């Protein structure tokens, strides 16, 4: 999973590089326009001025688009943090459920009942998917292990989907 600080650093570096390139191009174009404008006839001077206005307008639009991309990246990073938090809670509940089953925790215990109740919506679809192994009260419910792996893969997939909206792939 991508570190949110890495995303911010990547976007900041990209913006700084974008601005530097844009400033360099703007300077070169302005210099070229000034060179041609001083040597041009009056009709061409107005065309050069119009070209300068068009280039300035384009530069402003590029800055606005880059700002929008950075805002979108920040929003996606925040959403990713919330999704991570929700999945970490799910991992904790499933892990506790597996641990309590392996340790043979009594079903009548209040804490056990709380974990059973909270993890039921997460583990319900996987109940009796795979046969459990164990001796007496000490059970390893392979269905729950499968559910744990499923939720890890789902978490990775959701974060990858979010990254599609933020990161630009530069290689094939």
CB 79 within 8 A of CB 91: no
Report the alpha-carbon angle 105-111-112, nearest 5.
40
For 63-114, the pLDDT digits (tens) are 777 788 888 888 888 999 999 999 999 999 999 999 999 998 888 899 999 9
Residues in a beta bridge with 138: 135
Which one has a higher pLDDT value, 158 or 13?
158
Residue 1 has pLDDT above 50, yes or no: no
DSSP label at 131? -
CB 115 within 8 A of CB 86: no
If pLDDT is split at 50, 70 and 90, which confidence band does 145 have?
A: very high
């Amino acid at each position: 999973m991508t570190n949110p600080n890495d995303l911010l650093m990547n976007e900041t570096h990209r913006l700084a590089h974008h601005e530097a390139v844009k400033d360099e191009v703007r300077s070169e174009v302005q210099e070229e326009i000034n060179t041609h404008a001083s040597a041009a006839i009056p009709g061409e001077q107005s065309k050069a001025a119009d070209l300068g206005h068009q280039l300035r307008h384009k530069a402003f639009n590029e800055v606005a688009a880059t700002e929008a991309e950075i805002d979108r990246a920040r929003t996606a990073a925040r959403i990713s943090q919330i999704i991570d938090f929700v999945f970490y809670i799910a991992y904790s509940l499933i892990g506790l459920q597996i641990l309590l089953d392996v340790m043979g925790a009594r079903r009548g215990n209040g804490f056990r009942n709380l974990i059973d109740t909270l993890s039921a919506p997460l583990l319900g679809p996987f109940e009796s998917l795979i046969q459990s192994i164990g001796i007496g009260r000490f059970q390893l419910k392979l269905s729950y292990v499968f559910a744990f792996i499923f939720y890890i893969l789902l978490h990775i997939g959701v974060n990858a989907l979010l990254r599609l909206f933020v990161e630009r792939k530069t290689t094939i």
